[in-house]
A and B are shown apart, each in its own frame.
Chain A
Amino acid sequence: MRYLRWLALPLWVVGLYLALIWVPDVRALGVSYRIFYIHLGMAWTALLAMTANFVLSLLVLVRRKGREETDRFAQASAEAGILMTTATLASGMLWARVAWGAYWTWDPRLTTTAIMWFLYIGYLLLRQAMDDDTKRRVYSAVYALIVFVDVPIVYLSVRWWRSIHPVVFTESGMNITPQMLVAVIVFFFATLVLALDLIYLRAFQEKVHQELQKRRARRLGRLGY
Chain B
Amino acid sequence: MLKAAVWLFWKDLSLELRGRELLLPAAVFGLIIAMLYGFAFDGGQQALRPMFPGLLWLGIFFSSFLAVGRAFGVEAEAGQQLLMAPIDRGAIFLAKLALNILLTLVLTAVLTPAFALLLGAPLPRATWLFLWTLVLGVVGFAAAGSAMGALTAQTRLRELLLPALLLPFTSPLLLGAVSATSALYGKSPAQLGSWLWLMAVFDGIFILVPLLLFEYLTEV
**Chain A interfacial positions (CB closer than 8 Å to B):** 61, 115, 118-119, 121-122, 125-126, 129-132, 134-135, 137-139, 141-143, 145-147, 149-150, 153-154, 156-158, 160-161
Q: Give the interface size class of chain B.
A: 20 to 34
Q: What chain A residues lie within 8 Å of B194 (beta carbons)?
A: 160
Closest to A62 in B: B216
Q: Are B157 and A138 in contact (CB under 8 A)?
A: no
Q: What chain B residues lie within 8 Å of A137 (beta carbons)?
A: 220
Q: Are A149 and B209 in contact (CB under 8 A)?
A: yes
Q: Mark B133-167, 1 if CB is under 8 A from A, else 0.
A: 00000000000000100011011111001001100
Given contacts A143-B151, A146-B147, A146-B210, contact A122 B168 (CB under 8 A): yes
Cα distance A156–B201 in the bound complex, in angstroms = 12
Interface of A is mostly: helix
Interface residue B198 (Cβ < 8 Å from any Cβ of A): yes
Q: Are B151 and A150 in contact (CB under 8 A)?
A: no
Q: Are A157 and B171 in contact (CB under 8 A)?
A: yes
Q: Are A129 and B157 in contact (CB under 8 A)?
A: yes
Q: Are A157 and B175 in contact (CB under 8 A)?
A: yes
Cα distance A128–B139 in the bound complex, in angstroms = 29
Q: Are A145 and B154 in contact (CB under 8 A)?
A: no
Closest to B176 in A: A157
Q: Are B172 and A134 in contact (CB under 8 A)?
A: no
Among all A-B residue pairs, the 9 with the closest Cβ atoms: A157-B172, A129-B155, A118-B168, A122-B165, A157-B175, A138-B220, A153-B172, A142-B213, A134-B220
Q: Are A130 and B169 in contact (CB under 8 A)?
A: no
CB distance from B127 to the nearest CB of A (A): 25
Interface residue B217 (Cβ < 8 Å from any Cβ of A): yes
Q: What chain B residues lie within 8 Å of A115 (beta carbons)?
A: 168, 171
Q: Are A119 and B216 in contact (CB under 8 A)?
A: no
Q: Are A135 and B220 in contact (CB under 8 A)?
A: yes
Cα distance A167–B195 in the bound complex, in angstroms = 24
Q: Are B209 and A153 in contact (CB under 8 A)?
A: no
Q: Are A125 and B164 in contact (CB under 8 A)?
A: yes
Interface of B is mostly: helix
Q: What chain B residues lie within 8 Å of A156 (beta carbons)?
A: 172, 198
Q: What chain A residues lie within 8 Å of B165 (beta carbons)?
A: 119, 122, 125-126, 143
CB distance from A213 to the nearest CB of B (A): 17
Interface residue B42 (Cβ < 8 Å from any Cβ of A): no
**Chain B interfacial positions (CB closer than 8 Å to A):** 147, 151-152, 154-158, 161, 164-165, 168-169, 171-172, 175-176, 179, 191, 194-195, 198, 201-202, 205-206, 209-210, 213, 216-217, 219-220
Q: Are A149 and B205 in contact (CB under 8 A)?
A: yes
Out of A122, A142, A150, A157, which one reaches B216, CB within 8 Å? A142
CB distance from A117 to the nearest CB of B (A): 9
Q: What chain B residues lie within 8 Å of A132 (beta carbons)?
A: 154, 220
Closest to B201 in A: A153
Counting chain A CB atoms within 10 Å of each CB, the highest count among B156, B161, B171, B191 belongs to: B171
Given contacts A142-B217, A149-B205, contact A154 B154 (CB under 8 A): no
Cα distance A119–B172 in the bound complex, in angstroms = 13
Q: What chain A residues lie within 8 Å of B202 (beta carbons)?
A: 153
Q: What chain B residues lie within 8 Å of A129 (beta carbons)?
A: 152, 155-158, 161
In the assembled complex, 15 residue pairs joining A and B whose CB atoms fall closer than 8 Å, in A order, are A115-B168, A115-B171, A118-B164, A121-B164, A125-B161, A126-B165, A129-B155, A132-B220, A135-B220, A138-B219, A139-B151, A142-B213, A146-B147, A157-B176, A161-B175
Q: What chain A residues lie within 8 Å of B158 (beta carbons)?
A: 129
Q: Are A126 and B213 in contact (CB under 8 A)?
A: no
Q: What chain B residues lie within 8 Å of A158 (beta carbons)?
A: 172, 175
Given contacts A122-B168, A126-B165, A150-B206, 5 further A-B contacts (CB under 8 A): A122-B169, A126-B155, A126-B161, A157-B171, A160-B179
Cα distance A137–B220 in the bound complex, in angstroms = 9
Q: What chain A residues lie within 8 Å of B151 (beta carbons)?
A: 126, 139, 142-143
